[in-house]
Structure formats: structure tokens, C-alpha cells
A and B are shown apart, each in its own frame.
Chain A
Amino acid sequence: MKKFMRTSMFLVAAAMLLHNYSCTCEGRKKQKIDEKDIVGDVSPNEQLLDDFNKSKLIFYSLPSPLETAMLIKQAGASYDITLLNSLDNVSRYNTNLKMALNLGIYSADMSYTSLFDQMQNTLLYMGASRTLADQLGVLGAIDENTIKKLEANMNDRDVVMDIISETFMNSNAYLTENDRPAIAGMVLVGGWIEGIYLATQLAHNSISQNPALIDRIVYQKLSLQTVLSLLETYGDNPDVQYLTGKMNQLKVIFDEIRIVNKSKAEAETLPEQQVTIIRSEAETHITQDIFEKLANKIAEIRNEFIS
């Protein structure tokens, strides 16, 4: 009987351990938010304050490769195949860090080619992404059916974008749900750095040639904070520590760029259209010198990632 009791207690403890583990993985963490961090220029009501103080799950959502490619395209940037990571490099990547970073980088390149209707290149970059996903042990994220579906719909950009977003989600979800969330985070960081690399290179070293594109780049300062928060979640991982160091180098330069809010954020909700418009006025300040420093640092980090 005693043995049965001991076994039962062990089972309960194991179940609790497994349950806790399952709830603290993925791109999130349970944490308490200090009250001082949540007091801003408005006074949230007490219930809201209470909700924030309770234990919670946190996601950090970076601009995905697809979103960044859309931002680049909408800003009027052009297509330049010479900027993409060479497909020949795929065989070089033999560590989890390099495979994960370059899975993100190739995903970003694939998104960029698809937005500019370079479908043959989209297929090739899908192939490279598949190679790295397979090497990372991400089963089924990109398979033969994915490639066939892409080939069959090469003239339908909406379907192509859907396939790309699906494969990116599959890789991310597989890694997250198989207790490799830090690797999933590295894929996201790779995709983010490639997106900002493409944007800075397409600005052709000038802050006046394409102000819309420069604006997109400047506001990546906000995304960088999300990148750092995501990495902090897996701060014990040596590869993540390496990436945090690189991102902090970027932060030093981004800190020289100023975003000044000229008015408080306002929201206008149109219930019938089920839409809320978010608006505020802000000014950005960046000099040519700072932009060049930023572009050079991004290129340095990205080239290290693809080497």
C-alpha cells in the first residue's frame, strides 16, 4: 500500500511538472509585471491593473518575413536579386544556430521574391528553406506537396503568400511545440534581420531618395525592443546570448534615432465596419550619418549570419 502511495505521489508530481513545463514553453513566459512598469500617462482602471499583475502568458510577435516584404513593396522599393542570400550557401549551415537563422533569412528572401512576382526564385528559395527545415528536424513544415502546390499556383500571388505564411507558421509551431522554442526564436530573428537588411540596402545609402522606406526602417526601432524581449525569454541559451549581443549593438545605433510623439494615441472605433482606427502624431529624426552607421551595422550582422 505504501508503495502504491509513493507511486501515486510520484505520478501527481510528474503530472504537475509536465503540466508546468508545457505552460512555460513557446515564445512566451509567465511573469509578474511590476506595477511601476504599467503606470503611464493614463490611469488604467483597477480591474485592468489587477489583470496585468496576475500571472500570464506572453507572446512577442515580430514582423514576419511576409509582413516586412509587404512593407518594403508598399514603400515603393525595387527588386534586387543580388541582395539575397545565395542558394549555394545552404550546404554551409551545420549548426542549429546557423540553420535556424538562415531558415528565417531564406523565408524573408522567399517572401521578397514572391511580392515582386519572381516566382521561379520563390520556388528556389522554398527549396532552400525546405532543406534547412529538414536539417533542423522540422517534420512536414515544407514537403513535396507544398512545392507542388506552389508550382501549380505560381500565377496566383494570394495563394503563394498563403503557402509561404503556412510554411513559416508550421516551422515555428513545430519547433515551439516540440520544446525547441529558442530555435523558433532564432528563425524569427533571422527573418527580421534579413527584412531590415533588404530595406536598408534598397534605400541606396540615402535618407532622401525614398522617405517612405526610411520611415519603415526607423520604426523597426520599436520591433527591435520586441526582438530583445523575445530573446530575453531564452536568455540561458548560449546562442541566444550571442544574438542578444548582436541586437544590443544595433540598439546602440537605433537609440540615436529619435521618435517623438506629438500627441497621445487615439482610437476611433467604427462598430458597423468592425474596425478601429489607431492614430497619433509623431516625428522621426534620423541623420544621413546615423543611417549609414545603421545600414553598415545591419549588413555586418547579416553577413555574419549567412557566412
Chain B
Amino acid sequence: MKIHKFSIFCLFFVFIGTINNEAQCIAFARGVAKPKILPFVHDGNYNATFIEEGESAELYKTFFEGQTYRLVVAATETLPKNIRIRILNEQRKVMFDNAEHGYVYVWDFEAQTSETLIVHAKVPEGNPESPTIAGGCLAIMFGIKSDVKRK
């Protein structure tokens, strides 16, 4: 009977832990990623997820001619450093690779054409000797340069 109670207790914490993994991402996106968008205006879209080492995420977004966008990628400290961010067009031609710029996580894009681009973020593989797999939140957010004038 004690074992049964113990099992329910463990299951409860596994469940809460899983919920927290997800729930932490909005707090992380709002508190850590969003401020890095300034002075651009956050577009309001929420793109954050729990991710593990070795995994990758893709984001499809149409860039509109005349707009300047700020891309912010943010990851919790539990994830390995040097997340590789590449921007590709639909033919998978690489337009930007942060590996060529010191793995920077904030970059601006001036669209002189309208085109759907893909943000590809790859979390490095972890240590194969390690018995655990590192995971954490990854947020990919966009800001728009606000130059709309008052009437």
C-alpha cells in the first residue's frame, strides 16, 4: 500500500514537472526573450517550446517588403551554448548563418522583397557520455521596426 501511495506521489510530480516544462516557456519568452526585441515592437506571436539537445526547430514566416524585422532567439541556460541559427529561403538557400557571426542570437533583417523565410535553430548535441539529456525552453520571436507616423 505504501508503494502504491509512493507511485501516485511520483506520478504526480512527473506530471507537474512536465506541465512546468511547458508553463516555464511563456514566462521565459516574456521575461527574457521579449525585452531583447526593443526598441522594435514585438509582433505578438508566441513561438516557444521545450526542446532537448540535438533537436532542431523551424519557423516559417513571410517577410514583407519594406519592413525591418528583429529576430531574437533565446534559450534557457540548461541548454547547450552556441545554438546555430540559419535563415533560409524556400529553396533552402542559406541567407544568414549565425555561426559566421559568433553565434549571435539577435539579428535584424531588412526585407527588400516579400518572401517566406525559414528560421532553423539547431541545439548542439550534448555529451554522449552524459547519462542525462539536457532540455530547456527555446523562444524564437520577431519584432517589427515601428516607423508608422502619427497623423
Interface residues of A (CB under 8 A from B): 3-4, 7-8, 10-11, 14-15, 18-19, 21-23, 25-28, 38-42, 44, 48, 51-52, 54-67, 70-71, 73-74, 107, 115-117, 157-158, 161-162, 164-166, 168-170, 172-174, 176-177, 188, 215-216, 219, 222-223, 225-226, 229, 264-265, 267, 269, 271, 273-282
Contacts and interface: CB of A to CB of B under 8 A. Distances in A.
Contact of B114 (A117, A222, A229): A222
Given A117-B151, A274-B107, A59 B41 contact: no
A-B pairs with lowest CB-CB distance, top 9: A40-B91, A168-B44, A165-B44, A267-B95, A279-B112, A173-B26, A219-B114, A59-B59, A7-B7
Contacts of A64: 43-45
Interface string B46-66: 111111000111111111111
B96 A269 contact: yes
Contacts of A40: 90-93
A18 B113 CA distance: 43
Nearest to A10: B7
Nearest to B89: A265
A46 B122 CA distance: 15
Nearest to B47: A59
Q: What size tier do the contact residues of chain B reach?
A: 35 or more
Interface of B: 3-4, 7, 10-11, 14-15, 18-19, 21-23, 25-26, 29-30, 34, 41-51, 55-68, 86-96, 101, 104, 106-117, 120, 122, 140, 142, 144, 146-148, 150-151
A172 to B, nearest CB: 4
A65 B113 CA distance: 21
Contact of A282 (B49, B55, B114): B114
Contacts of A63: 43, 62, 64
A116 B151 CA distance: 7
A278 B44 contact: no
Contacts of B94: 44, 48
B57 A158 contact: no
A15 B34 CA distance: 31
B109 A276 contact: yes
B90 to A, nearest CB: 7
Contact of B95 (A38, A168, A278): A278
A98 to B, nearest CB: 21
Contacts of A41: 91, 93
A4 B144 CA distance: 56
B115 to A, nearest CB: 6
Nearest to B21: A22
Contacts of B3: 3-4, 7
A63 to B, nearest CB: 7
A48 B58 contact: no
Contacts of A18: 14-15, 18
A219 B64 contact: yes
Contacts of A71: 64, 67
Nearest to B25: A177
A84 B56 CA distance: 40
A280 B117 CA distance: 13
Given A40-B91, A59-B58, A169 B14 contact: no
